[in-house]
Amino acid sequence: MDEVVIAGAGPVGLRLAAELRLAGVAVTVLEPRPAPDRRSRALTIHPRTIELLASRGLHEQFLAEGVRIPSGHFGMLDNRLDFRLLDTDFQYTLAIPQARTEELFEQHARAAGAAVLRGHRVTNVIDNGDSVTVEAEGPDGAYALEAGYVVGCDGTRSTVRRSAGIDFPGTAHTMLGWLADVVLDAPPAGSVTSVATERGGLMIVPLPGGLHRVVGQTPDDLRTDWPGEPTLDEVRAKVTAITGTDHGMHSPAWLSRFGNASRQAERYRAGRVLLAGDAAHQHMPAGGVGLNVGVQDAMNLGWKLAAVASGAEPDDLLDSYHDERHPVGVDLLESTQAQNALFAAFSPDGQQLRALLSKLVAEQPDFSRALAERLSGLAVRYPPADPAAHPLTGVRAPNLRFGDGTCLFERLRPGRHVRLDFTDRRDELAETRADWATVRAALIRPDGHVAWATDQQSS
């Protein structure tokens, strides 16, 4: 019997599988697709996700291949958020196709010993109380697996979520967006171009390999029907209507549409069944945060599920996964739905709202930084159970540098808690940080958040 079965070999399921294997937990990943999808709905890797990859020694390949963009956007406002102001080693997003992210994650998961079975679809999940039965179909027909736990990383139409009877309330789509991965003979200058007028909103981002991603909405996209996937001629016409040119668009690698439906699972845990990624939250891909929030779900759940599955911690530790990540999902929907309103602000009043908010981004550094920290994932703090806990408890720890030449992310690579004693020369900080100046000792969780800290001298 496997200790954990994961439904879905997207970025979230694969990252979770690798985390479980890091702790020696037996894991099988079931994925309906016989081969990885070469189309890439997600494109952006945000600073906090890069930090998490660095804390496992996985970031170098992503840095080598991704296009670095030192800013982010909120609702495609004219003035972008300056990520160079962020307190991180990685003051940029990476533009890298989801297909490549999945490929790198799968390589790592398999190398760590995870069994990734393609062409295998979960059809039902039964929680037996002391185990879970996963019913599936594979190339040789139907079969069943017994496991200690199952995690649904199987998308917005999650079979795992439905089998567990977990509600997925929210709102249906009222607006469509479209995207095209194309060749542009006359691309706009710069790393990212965004335009928003009463005629529509448009963003153009360069991709590795010579393609550009063109994504946008126009007033006639404010609709609840689904007219099928867009054609190249349709996208050309929409782009030309917004900007006056189609930038020499041709040779599409992918054309697609997406909606702004927003839903969240009422529970991220039901007994031995857990949810992560799009199975737990659905939203408009505003700001490119979806993949990142899902990977961060996996990093939060991974060490906890490993500890419980191996018997090192009691089962109720898994309750903290919902307690910590569900509020992050609430914030995610709040942010993306607010951006939906800005995307759809084609009226004269809406354009004035956009102009005002864009001016505030440029003129109010604290406002701009707060939005950037939220978008990048650096602002997430898990509320401590004890109201009297140290102010750093629950915050994400930066990549602290120590007197012995090491850094925190290097020490986190084994996937275990890291204890810091700042009275020890080895842990002495090699840099001055006001927020850590009085800390005498701390315990850092495997996902990089502070579990405990004290200003008192250790005995």
Q: Assign 60 to helix, strand or coil.
A: helix
Half-sphere exposure of 411 (CA within 13 A, CB side): 21
Task: Please write the tens of the pLDDT for every residue from 155-212.
Answer: 999 999 999 999 999 999 999 999 999 999 999 987 788 999 999 999 998 887 889 9
Domain match, 45 and 144 both: yes
Question: According to the model, what pLDDT value does residue 207 have?
Answer: 84
Residues 280 and 301 in one domain: yes
Residue with the two structure tokens 């139907």:
142
Count of structural domains within the chain: 3
pLDDT value at residue 62:
97
Together in a domain, 94 and 144: yes
Q: Is the pLDDT of residue 25 over 70?
A: yes
Domain containing 388 — which CATH number? 3.40.30.120
Say if residue 292 is in the same domain as residue 252.
no
> What single string gives the DSSP state of each residue in 325-381?
HHHHHHHHHHHHHHHHHHHT--SHHHHHHHHHHHHHHHH-HHHHHHHHHHHHTTT-B
| Domain match, 162 and 292 both | yes
Asked if residue 195 and residue 330 are part of one domain, the reply reads: no
**Which of 325, 355, 376 is a domain's end point?**
376
Instruction: Specify whether 284 is located in the same domain as 392.
Output: no
Q: Are residues 104 and 244 in the same domain?
A: no
* DSSP run (H or E) holding 274: strand 273-275
Q: Are 402 and 270 in a shared domain?
A: no
Tell how many helices (H) and how many strands (E) occur in the chain. Answer: 11, 24
Residue 413: band (very low, low, confident or very high) from pLDDT cuts 50, 70, 90: very high
Residue 212, domain extent: 176-259
CATH of the domain at 249: 3.30.70.2450
Nearest alpha carbon to residue 278 among 303, 261, 255, 254? 261
Last residue of a domain, one of 355, 376, 397: 376
Mean pLDDT value across residues 140-150: 97
Question: Are 21 and 164 contained in the same domain?
Answer: yes
First and final CA of the chain: distance in angstroms? 45
Q: What is the pLDDT of residue 1?
A: 66
Residues 260-314: pLDDT tens digits? 999 999 999 999 999 999 999 999 988 889 999 999 999 999 999 999 999 999 9
Q: What is the mean pLDDT of the chain?
A: 95
What confidence category does residue 431 fall into, taking pLDDT thresholds of 50, 70 and 90? confident
Q: Give the residue from 376, 397, 429 where a domain finishes.
A: 376
pLDDT tens digit sequence for 40-55 = 788 899 999 999 999 9
> pLDDT-derived band of residue 448, with 50, 70 and 90 as boundaries?
very high
Same domain? For 313 and 324 the reply is yes
Instruction: State whether 37 and 137 are in the same domain.
Output: yes
Q: What are phi and psi of 6, to 5 degrees?
A: -115, 130
Q: What is the pLDDT of residue 139?
A: 96
Tokens of 336: 């993306």
Phi, psi of 353, deg, nearest 5: -60, -45
Check pLDDT > 90 for residue 428. no
Question: How far apart are the C-alpha atoms of 159 and 125, rounded to whole Å?
Answer: 8
